[in-house]
Amino acid sequence: MTASVGIVAKHTGVPVQTLIIEQDSPFLSKGWSLFKPPSLPIAYTIRLGRRFEPPADARAFTLELEQYFHAELTGSVQSRWIQERQRLQATD
Query: Could you tell me the pTM of the whole model?
Result: 0.72
Tens-digit pLDDT profile for residues 39-58: 999 999 999 999 999 999 99
Is the pLDDT score of 31 beyond 80?
no
Distance in angstroms (rounded) separating the CA atoms of residues 61 and 52: 9
Q: Which of 77, 88, 79 has the alpha carbon at shortest distance from 25?
A: 77
Label residues 42-65 b or e (16+ Cβ within 10 Å = b): eeeeeeebeebebbeebeebbeeb
Q: Which amino acid is at 27?
A: F
CA–CA dist 92, 88 (Å, integer): 7
